[in-house]
Structure 1
Amino acid sequence: MPLNLLPQNICPNSSPNPLSYAYLASMVAESKAVKWDGVAKIDLTRGEGEGDACVGRIKLPPGHFNGETMFVPRHDDPAACASEDDGFLVTFVHDEAAGSSYLGIWDAATMDDAPLARVALPARVPYGFHAAWVGREAFGAQLRSAPLAAAPLEGATLVAA
């Protein structure tokens, strides 16, 4: 079935080798509304005529819609990962029937529809919300160098890695 895809995320890789996979928010082409209902794993090494480049797809339950998907390596050092897809896919999901949002986490290697974890969020995350993953080392360096690191905004909770 043809998919509409939202170009966005690849594995953060320090290797000089070309990357094999990209992870993109997806929806079936017949959809009338722009609501992403899953994540597609695209094999970037497949050439034209070499078969379907979509080698995996996480399909969300009916009425659940996701935003931009981040690939998070299993280890802080991507070189320590067993393979390029050894990691997690993380995205905000909105459940329209319940009127709530959650952070969903899936296994990038298996692309199993069942999430490894769902973290309930206290507020709705709007469609189209973008995201970025910052590893432990980079986050710690940012906290140490940021002028607000010692004085968080009123009402904010500062969480260190």
Structure 2
Amino acid sequence: KGRILALQESGPLPYELDGELGTVGPFDFRGTLEGALTAHTKYDAAADELHAVAYYPTWDHVRHLMIDRTGRVAHTQRVPVADAPMMHDFALTGKYVVIIDLPVTFDPAAAQAGAVVPYAWNDRHPMRVGLLPRGGGATRWFQIDPVFHSHTLNAYDQGDSVVVEFTAMPAPFFVAGRGNGGPGALGTPTLERWTVDPRAGRVRSERIDDLPQEFPRVNELFVSRRHRFAYTASAGAMWRAYETVDGVPPDEHFSNHLVKHDMARGRREVHRLPAGAAAGEPVFVPRRGSRDEDDGYVLSYVHDPDRGASDLVILSAQDFTGRPLARVELPGRVPLGFHGSWVAQL
């Protein structure tokens, strides 16, 4: 039996929801989860494993967790880190867990003052990307130029190298209005790529697309494998999310279009929604019986300013710029910036 879980990083246990999204209660994976989980798990469909990298303000490490098909934490490995960094997201390949050590660290003074997000930019904390072998072993770290990494699209092995694709904003960067950000703290999120070469001991950085965009997603069957297609929501002023009390950016900081990327051809398609609409995270749903990576649907919550509520908009992924296949009018507003997953059945 599957379970629907609402996730939160840096402390609280996941909360289980019923089929009507009512609260069942905290869930600790049958007593095997000791402490925090993460807001962004990665499911490897080929291995039938759920992975997480968890952090907590008082830990001197982060934890890689692997949850097996029985719904229990089957493997835990502690990875030492300094300064209690924020690790909102990570990546997974066939060989490695990719750990992203940001120069955004726990701020005890902010926590004591009651800050909702007690983390701040820390110039003294070097930014690193780490490769932790999935089978266990030591993490190998590579220092890189700092950015504010927000969300990972996907990662995969390419020979001896590792490719990581993600969205990021310029560094330095304010977190909840704190830190030594200065004028460079304001910026738009863009789609980026790291290629980690363990043999050479270096990381090559490149920009995939400079269009402002966030919330990158792939066909989930391709998590940890090389993908061709990616989906994002255009969102220019996402940094303002970190100035708000609840961390949810206002609708006006999103735009009215969704983006499909073809990585093989280096092209993008843009689906434009009505003026004034604001589109959230796109979620890809494979068509039943599909064989092609992009044979399916793209779902997104879209705020309709005329109704003052959200619509669930359904696009054909292979006719991305065409008219929506369906639009479901919801009775209220779904805050943009929230993540979600498609659950075919429990």
Identity over aligned pairs, percent? 37
Q: Which amino acid aligns with 1:71?
A: F
Deviation at 1:100, TM superposition (A): 2.1
Q: How many residues were matched structurally?
A: 125
Q: Which amino acid aligns with 2:221?
A: N
1:61 and 2:274 equivalent? yes
| Partner Cα distance (2:331, 2:269) in 1 | 31
1:109 and 2:328 equivalent? no
Structure of higher CA gyration radius? 2
Deviation at 1:131, TM superposition (A): 1.4
For residues 123 and 83 of structure 1, do their structure 2 counterparts lie closer, same or farther at Cα, with a shift above 3 Å needed? same
Corresponding residue for 1:134? 343
For residues 14 and 55 of structure 1, do their structure 2 counterparts lie closer, same or farther at Cα, with a shift above 3 Å needed? closer
SS at match of 1:125: coil
Deviation at 1:55, TM superposition (A): 2.8
| Partner Cα distance (1:34, 1:135) in 2 | 31
Q: Which amino acid aligns with 1:10?
A: V
| Partner Cα distance (2:211, 2:224) in 1 | 30
Contact 1:71 1:90 in 2 (8 A): yes
Contact 1:60 1:113 in 2 (8 A): no
SS at match of 2:334: coil
Q: Which amino acid aligns with 1:72?
A: V
For residues 8 and 55 of structure 1, do their structure 2 counterparts lie closer, same or farther at Cα, with a shift above 3 Å needed? closer
Deviation at 1:13, TM superposition (A): 1.8
| Partner Cα distance (1:87, 1:3) in 2 | 24
Contact 1:94 1:102 in 2 (8 A): yes
Q: List aligned pairs for 1:9-158, cutoff 5 A.
A: 9-13=217-221, 18-27=226-235, 33-46=252-265, 53-75=266-288, 80-136=289-345, 139=346
1:8 and 2:216 equivalent? yes
**Comparing both structures, which one devotes a greater share of its residues to strand?**
2
Q: Which amino acid aligns with 2:219?
A: C
| Partner Cα distance (1:93, 1:118) in 2 | 10
Deviation at 1:43, TM superposition (A): 1.6
| Partner Cα distance (1:15, 1:39) in 2 | 21
- The C-alpha deviation readout for 1:78-135, integer Å capped at 9, x for no partner, is xx31411100000111111321211000000110342100101011112212211123
| Partner Cα distance (2:277, 2:224) in 1 | 37
For residues 62 and 14 of structure 1, do their structure 2 counterparts lie closer, same or farther at Cα, with a shift above 3 Å needed? closer
Contact 1:64 1:94 in 2 (8 A): yes
| Partner Cα distance (2:333, 2:215) in 1 | 23
SS at match of 1:13: helix
Contact 1:40 1:54 in 2 (8 A): no
TM-score (norm. length: structure 1): 0.67
- What runs of 5+ residues in structure 1 fail to find an aligned partner? 47-52, 140-161
For residues 82 and 122 of structure 1, do their structure 2 counterparts lie closer, same or farther at Cα, with a shift above 3 Å needed? same
Deviation at 1:18, TM superposition (A): 1.9
- What runs of 5+ residues in structure 2 fail to find an aligned partner? 1-209, 238-251
Deviation at 1:27, TM superposition (A): 4.8
Corresponding residue for 1:150? none
